[in-house]
Structure 1
Amino acid sequence: MSETADTPSPIPVRTAAFAAGLGAWVLWSGIVLTGTGLIIINNVIVGGLIAFFAAYTAGWPDGGRLPAIAAPALVVLFGLWTVVAPFVFGVAIERLLWSNVVSGVLVVLLAVGSVYGSWQLTQSATSV
């Protein structure tokens, strides 16, 4: 199946959906990996925000009520914070530290793909 001008790219939807799944993992990782301290609260909040905004991007890749790149750009920022947070909070449990680092890097990469795909959607919509 080839893409035509009428067929939008699946890139922002797929990358956002994967990022939402990783956000759900971040949300639960502090508990599953038996973390202690503020990293648990951090991961619940930030993981929930990643999952929410990434799912929003998957549902409305053209932006919906928000500008098209707003939600995926927020996911990029939350992904970057996920990478940095274990170092800020001094997490001593290596499996949780590396879970955050790897998950955060993957979220950032996927969200950058969503930003690019959403930007392409808005460019194709304005050129029509």
Structure 2
Amino acid sequence: MDTITKLTTGGNSAFGCWLIVAPFVFNTPAVGRWNDVLVGTTIALVAGYNYTRAIRRRPVNMLGAGFVTVLGCWLIVAPFVFGLESSPIWNDIISGTIVASFGSYNTYVATIADRSPPFRMTAE
């Protein structure tokens, strides 16, 4: 896989780890804390799996990358659902935007890698 795919999968894995720690740094309320820890753990595991596939020069898992994208979108919406304020809301919005962006790129790359090469007829 290309370098950008390795960076985006590794970056999402790092953001997943950050989301596990961030609620304790920002003293997030309990519901927001559990949301960030659970979503961050899932992102770290799925993106980490895709990172190991990328460094082994195998295509990333399209469903996993798509799931990470959905979780990134959830992070953007979750602070408004849970009524978070100040630092925790901005942490989730910024982290969610980056995770969703990286995840959508990985989904796109996985979709292209999943396609079979086009059929070509040779001229005789």
Query: Do they superpose with TM above 0.5?
Result: yes
**In the comparison of the two structures, how many residue pairs are matched?**
114
Kindly state the Cα deviation for residue 75 of structure 1 after the two structures are TM-superposed: 0.2
User: Which residue of the partner structure matches residue 36 of structure 1?
Assistant: 29
Alignment of 1:7-46 (within 5 A): 8-46=1-39
Q: Specify the SS of the correspondent of 1:98.
A: helix
1:66-119 per-position Cα deviation (integer Å, ceiling 9, x unaligned): xx3100000001111111111111112x11110000000000001111111222
- Larger radius of gyration between Structure 1 and Structure 2: 2
Alignment TM-score, normalising by the size of structure 1 = 0.82
Kindly state the Cα deviation for residue 13 of structure 1 after the two structures are TM-superposed: 2.2
User: Which residue of the partner structure matches residue 90 of structure 2?
Assistant: 98
Alignment TM-score, normalising by the size of structure 2 = 0.84
User: What is the RMSD computed on CA atoms of the aligned residues?
Assistant: 1.6
Structure 2 gaps of 5+ residues are 119-124
Over the matched positions of the two proteins, sequence identity in percent amounts to: 25
Alignment of 1:1-128 (within 5 A): 8-61=1-54, 62-63=59-60, 68-92=61-85, 94-123=86-115, 126-127=116-117
The structure 1 segments of at least 4 consecutive aligned residues displaced by more than 6 Å after TM superposition are none
> Hey, which of these two has a bigger chunk of helix by percent?
2
Kindly state the Cα deviation for residue 42 of structure 1 after the two structures are TM-superposed: 0.7
